[in-house]
Amino acid sequence: MRPPDTVTVALTGASGLPYGLKLIDSLIRAQRRVWVLYSQAAQIVAKQEMNISLPSRPAELQDWLQQRTQAQAGQLAVFGREEWFAPVASGSNPADAMVVCPCSMGTLAAIAHGMSDNLIERAADVSIKEQRKLILVPRETPLSVIHLENMLKLARLGVVILPPAPGFYTHPQTVDDMVDFVVARILDQLGVENSLIPRWGNTVTEPTA
């Protein structure tokens, strides 16, 4: 059997932790192998937005995610921000794709300028140099010229800039529906089949005059 594709998911301090956690849930359900990276700021946001206390120790967060997702043995791994011997730190063993979700403007700027001060930035740098899929989900508004120029620089390198901007043509009824919309678009970019939202032209009805 072909090993599952490996996706690195990095959680940073931007608003939008529900997107990142739902993405991890969906990838595990789709039988992908997931490597999780996270910042200290992501722990603060998780508490603020979801009233979840993410463990500060990677091993404890791995156990927490293992229970949350019911991942199989070896399907999920969590690495600390200074864990330089993690697979994602080297181009000799990169993930097949990486998603930074949510992506803070600080992380985006560091990636755009080739910084590698922590494992998230290094893993993104590896993804770019090895020409692997890299998706950034930046959550900020309004966007300054600095933000836009950094995004343009990365887009020209082939990085996918995917703002979490849910559409309303699917008639979302809950916050979870809006989260699913964004996660579905990320999964589409990864080539992971999903049925989180109805597809345009299938079950979405046209508005009446």
Domains, the chain: 6-190 (3.40.50.1950)
Ramachandran area for residue 206 (φ above 0: left; ψ -120 to 50: alpha; else beta): beta
Instruction: Express each pLDDT in 87-106 by its tens digit.
Output: 999 999 999 999 999 999 99
- 15 annotated among ligand-binding-site residues: yes
Instruction: Express each pLDDT in 107-138 by its tens digit.
Output: 999 999 999 999 999 999 999 999 999 999 99
Q: Is the dihedral of CA 62, 9, 34, 37 positive or negative?
A: negative
**Does the pLDDT value for residue 208 go beyond 80?**
no
The mean pLDDT value for 25-51 works out to 96
- 13 annotated among ligand-binding-site residues: yes
Tell me if residue 149 falls in helix, strand or coil: helix
pTM above 0.95, yes or no: no
- 107 annotated among ligand-binding-site residues: yes
**Does the pLDDT value for residue 203 go beyond 80?**
no
- 33 annotated among ligand-binding-site residues: no
DSSP class of 19: H
**Helix-helix angle 105-112:119-129, to 10 degrees:** 40
Do residues 86 and 120 touch, judged by C-beta distance below 8 A? no
Q: How confident is the model at residue 206 (pLDDT cuts 50, 70, 90)?
A: low
72 vs 27: CA distance, rounded Å: 12
4 vs 6: CA distance, rounded Å: 6
Rg (CA), the chain: 17
Mean pLDDT of the chain: 94
45 vs 118: CA distance, rounded Å: 19
What pLDDT, on the 0 to 100 scale, is given for residue 40? 94
- 139 annotated among ligand-binding-site residues: yes
- 39 annotated among ligand-binding-site residues: yes
- 178 annotated among ligand-binding-site residues: no
HSE (side-chain half, CA atoms, 13 Å) at 193: 1
Q: How confident is the model at residue 202 (pLDDT cuts 50, 70, 90)?
A: confident
Other C-beta atoms lying within 10 Å of the C-beta of residue 103? 29
**Does the pLDDT value for residue 44 go beyond 70?**
yes
What pLDDT, on the 0 to 100 scale, is given for residue 201? 82
- 169 annotated among ligand-binding-site residues: yes
Residue 167 carries which side chain, given as an amino acid letter? G
Q: How confident is the model at residue 166 (pLDDT cuts 50, 70, 90)?
A: very high
Do residues 97 and 192 touch, judged by C-beta distance below 8 A? no
- 199 annotated among ligand-binding-site residues: no
